[in-house]
């Protein structure tokens, strides 16, 4: 299943190095969350130890550099906020890079969603509980820091989760129907999406077989649509350009709502992906479109040979450049 299992050799190499512990969230932030009604969301995620979360000031007296907008990180399916195991590498390398450039953990925030059980990854979609919890996390960071705007860096399924957090509105899912809230508007300065599946995944084609993973469902999952051809196994999903006479392709309602929204998710939008992505595959193409390109992106950064996880792990300097310079390096 795509977006789930990375190159273990690469990740083992990463874990063989000394890994600093940047989590969990600070005691100051955790106490603030409790005092302000956010305690029920368990943003610390101590079930994952120090990998479950990060961010927050050390005390009320800590100097907070207001010239730097907070950065909130959204990880992907079966990953974690920070390095947890051979699969869940989290945002440790990016956090370390930002800290080396003068940021503090008072500017950098992340919480884990779901769990790191890769065998359950095909069961996860954009459900109400997860999206609403992450939306409240963004609101909490803004309230805690007093920031008028934030930046978001996201990877894999975290890209589409982040986009829905920003857009707000309704979700219909197995855990019910919910309203995430109003669009965040111009409160998001930059959103950077890394190796996302904004138009779904060709690996999710197969409704005709009657076998559908929840992750691939056509309501709030990553179904790319397959109505252009009577035989979806003929490889046409990854064709580029979009084969004629395929018009008006219907795909996941969740993704269509995101992509057809009249609200921009941020003042500046950037997308990154790799042609060598081992999990998205198909040269990143889904029905004539690069699926990792967020609609209306200002610019895209395309790598040749990075794997799915390498596109996150090996690009911390590029991520920093985009957030701070608003250009593709």
Sign of the four-CA dihedral 215, 117, 24, 178 = positive
Task: Kindly tell me if the per-residue pLDDT of 198 is higher than 70.
Answer: yes
Of 121 and 54, more confident: 54
* CA-closest candidate to residue 274, choices 316, 304, 299, 297: 304
pLDDT at 199 over 50: yes
Rank 127-136, 223-232, 245-254, 286-295 by mean pLDDT and report only the highest: 127-136
Residue 7 has pLDDT above 80, yes or no: no
CATH number of 27-325: 3.40.50.1820
Question: What confidence tier does 227 reach under pLDDT thresholds 50, 70, 90?
Answer: low
Residues ≥6 apart with Cβ < 8 Å to 100: none
Cβ distance 72 to 141 under 8 Å? Answer: yes
Of 25-29, 113-117, 118-122, 287-291, which has the strongest mean pLDDT?
25-29
Averaged over 264-272, what is the pLDDT?
Answer: 97
Residue 158: which H helix or E strand, with range?
A: helix 157-167
- Cα separation, 92 vs 5, whole angstroms: 18
User: Residue 1 pLDDT more than 50?
Assistant: no
Residue carrying the six token digits 């999990």: 279
**Which of the four pLDDT bands, split at 50, 70 and 90, describes residue 225?**
confident
| 3-state percent breakdown (helix, strand, coil) of the chain, nearest 5 | 35, 15, 50
**For 225-248, b where at least 16 C-beta lie within 10 A, e where not — what string?**
bbebeeebeeebbbbeebeeebee
On the question of pLDDT at 220 being above 70, the answer is yes
pTM over 0.75: yes
Q: Is the pLDDT of residue 12 over 60?
A: no
More confident residue, 63 or 75: 75
**pLDDT-based confidence at 321, cuts 50/70/90?**
very high
> Where does the pLDDT of residue 132 fall: very low under 50, low under 70, confident under 90, or very high at 90 and above?
very high
């Amino acid at each position: 299943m795509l977006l789930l299992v990375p190159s273990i050799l690469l990740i083992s190499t990463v874990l063989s190095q000394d890994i600093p512990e940047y989590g969990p969230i600070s005691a100051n932030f955790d106490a603030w969350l409790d005092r302000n009604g956010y305690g029920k969301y368990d943003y610390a995620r101590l079930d994952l130890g120090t990998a479950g979360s990060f961010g927050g000031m050390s005390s009320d007296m800590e100097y907070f550099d207001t010239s730097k907008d907070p950065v909130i990180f959204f990880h992907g399916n079966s990953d974690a906020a920070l390095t947890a195991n051979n699969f869940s590498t989290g945002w440790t390398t990016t956090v370390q890079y930002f800290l080396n450039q003068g940021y503090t953990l008072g500017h950098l925030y992340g919480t884990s969603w779901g769990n790191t059980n890769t065998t359950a990854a095909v069961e996860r979609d954009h459900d109400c509980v997860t999206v609403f919890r992450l939306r409240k996390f963004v609101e909490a960071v803004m309230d805690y820091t007093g920031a008028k705007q934030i930046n978001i860096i996201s990877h894999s399924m975290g890209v589409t989760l982040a986009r829905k957090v920003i857009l707000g509105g309704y979700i219909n899912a197995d855990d019910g129907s919910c309203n995430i809230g109003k669009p965040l508007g111009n409160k998001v300065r930059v959103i950077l999406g890394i190796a996302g599946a904004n138009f779904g995944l060709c690996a999710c084609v197969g409704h005709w077989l009657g076998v559908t993973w929840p992750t691939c469902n056509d309501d709030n999952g990553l179904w790319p649509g397959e109505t252009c051809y009577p035989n979806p196994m003929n490889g046409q999903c990854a064709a580029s350009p979009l084969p004629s006479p395929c018009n008006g392709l219907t795909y996941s309602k969740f993704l269509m709502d995101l992509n057809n929204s009249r609200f921009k998710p941020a003042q500046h939008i950037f997308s990154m992906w790799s042609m060598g992505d081992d999990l998205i595959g198909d040269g990143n193409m889904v029905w004539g479109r690069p699926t990792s390109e967020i609609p209306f992106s200002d610019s895209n950064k395309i790598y040749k040979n990075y794997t799915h996880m390498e596109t996150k792990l090996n690009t911390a300097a590029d991520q920093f450049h985009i957030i701070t310079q608003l250009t593709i390096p």
